[in-house]
Amino acid sequence: MAAEEAGGVDRAPACLCVLCGLPAAGKSTLARRVLRTAAQRGWRAGVVPYDDLITEHAFQIRVEETDCVKRQEIHTEWKLHRQAVLQCIEQFLEKPQVLAELPVSCPINRAAWEQCIRALLQPEPLDGSQADQAPLLFLLDDNFYYPSMRYEVYQLARKYSLGFCQVYLQCDLESCISRNQTRSEPIPTEVMLEMVKRLESPNPQKNSWETNSVSLNTTDDFSDCDVQRVMELISSALSNPISQAEDNTEQKEADRLKCATSVVHQTDQACRRHISEAMKTARENQVLPEHMRSLAAQLNESKATFLQNLRRQLLPEASFAQEEDIDVERVVKRAVDIFDHEKEEILLRVINENK
C-alpha cells in the first residue's frame, strides 16, 4: 500500500521536502504532524532542523574599527555550514550505515545530526521487500528566504533523481512575532523585521524548478486538510523524481543565479571602496567624530539596502536567462555609479550639517 501511494516501482527512493517561511511560522509543528502521518504510511521520515545543526559560531559578528568608527559585518561562515548540511544528507543517501562517521572538519552539530536521521535507520522489517519499498523523506526545516538557498536542495535532488517539493508557510508578521516571544530563546524582533524584507517565497512563474510547491496559511492552527495537501505533494514528488538529464532551462536559471551573485559581490566590494573614500573626504573636511559615526552608519545602511534591491532586480531580468555571455563588469559599473550618486548626497548632507 505504501509503495502504491509513493508511486510504485517508478517512484524515487527519497524525497527532499523544503519547509520555508518566517521564524515561528509553524514549520516545526507541521514537520511533527507530517512525521506522524508518514510513519502511518510506513515511510521512513526525519526532520533536518537547520537551527539545531548550525552552531552559533557560524553567526558570529565580526567588528572592524576604522578611525574610531565601528562597522559591524555578519560573518559569512554560515554559508559553509549550510553546504555541510546538504553534504551530510548526500553522504547518508550514498552510505546510510555510516551515520556518525562525519569528517572531523564537518562544522555541524553531530548530536543533532544523529538525532535527525535516527528515524531513517529503523530496523528493517522481516520482509526485506517491504524495506526496499519504504521511501525516505527528509523534511528540511529552515527559513530558506532566498531562492538560491532552495535551489541548492533542488540540485541535490536532481543529482540523485530524488523527489523534490516545497511547502511555504505564509503567516502574518504579528503572529510570528507573538509566537516567537513565547519561545525560551526568542529571535530578536529586529532580525525578524529584516527577514521579512529578504523573504522571497516560491515563485513557479519565475522559477520552473519551484513548480512542485504549495502555500499554507499558518496564521491559525493546521487542519487535517493542510497536512493532507502536504502528503499529496510529497507523494507526487516521489512519483515524479527530478531527471538527471541536463535541462537548458534549469542550466540558464543556474547561470542567472551565478551571474547575479557575482554582480552583487563585485558591487559590494566596489561600494566599500567608495564608502572608504567618502570617509576620507569627510576627515579632510574636519567632520566632527559624532558626525563621522553618523556618516558611516548612513552609508552602510544605504549600501545594504542598495545591494538587496539590486539582487531582487537582477534575478528576473531577461538578460540573465539568455545563453549569451553576460558582461558582468558593465553591469557592476552601472550599479556602482548609481550607488555613488547616493553616497555623494549623504556625504554632502553630513558635511553641511557639520558646518
Three state DSSP letters for 289-337 = HHHHHHHHHHHHHHHHHHHHHHHHHHCCCHHHHCCCCCCHHHHHHHHHH
Summary count for the chain: helices (H), strands (E) = 13, 7
**Which cell numbers in the block locate residue 226?**
493542510
8 Å CB contact between 210 and 150:
yes
**CA separation for the pair 194, 298 (Å, rounded):** 17
SS3 (DSSP) at 24: coil
Phi-psi region of 221 (alpha: psi -120 to 50; beta: other; left: phi over 0): beta
Identify the bridge partners of residue 20 per DSSP, sorted by sequence position. Answer: 168
Counted residue by residue, the chain has a size of 355
The domain made up of 2-239 is a member of CATH 3.30.1280.10: no
Q: Which residues of 30-41 are buried (b: 16+ CB within 10 A; e: fewer)?
A: bbebbbebbeeb
Distance, CA of 294 to CA of 272 (rounded, Å): 16
* HSE-CB for 168 with a 13 A CA cutoff: 18
Domain regions of the chain by residue span:
2-239, 248-354
**Whole-number Å distance between alpha carbons of 174 and 136:** 35
Rg of the chain in Å (alpha carbons):
23
The conformational region for residue 286 under phi > 0 = left, psi -120 to 50 = alpha, else beta, is: left
Q: 136-155: b or e for each residue (b if 16 or more CB lie within 10 Å)?
A: bbbbbbbbbbbbbbbbbbbe
> What was the pLDDT predicted at 56?
62
- CA 21 and chain centroid, separation: 10
DSSP annotation of 210 = G
pLDDT tens digits, the chain, 355 residues: what are they? 344 444 444 677 899 999 999 999 999 999 999 999 999 998 999 999 998 888 765 455 444 444 444 444 444 566 788 888 898 899 888 877 655 466 666 777 888 888 888 777 765 544 444 545 678 999 999 999 889 889 999 999 999 999 999 999 999 999 999 999 998 888 888 888 888 888 899 999 888 899 999 999 988 888 889 999 999 999 999 999 998 764 556 666 666 777 778 888 888 988 999 999 999 998 988 888 888 888 899 999 999 988 888 887 776 543 443 433 456 777 888 888 888 888 999 989 888 887 7
Q: How far apart are alpha carbons 71 and 68 in whole angstroms?
A: 10
CB 117 within 8 Å of CB 46: yes
Cell numbers at 128, concatenated: 526485506
Q: 65 forms bridges with which residues in the sheet?
A: 70
Q: Name the grid cell of 130.
A: 517491504
Burial of 262: CB neighbours in 10 Å, binned 0-12, 13-18, 19+: middle
Distance CA 7, CA 114 (A): 29
Compute the distance between CA of residue 103 and CA of residue 83 in angstroms, rounded to an integer: 14
**By the 8 A CB rule, do 209 and 151 touch?**
yes
167 phi/psi in degrees, rounded to 5: -120, 115
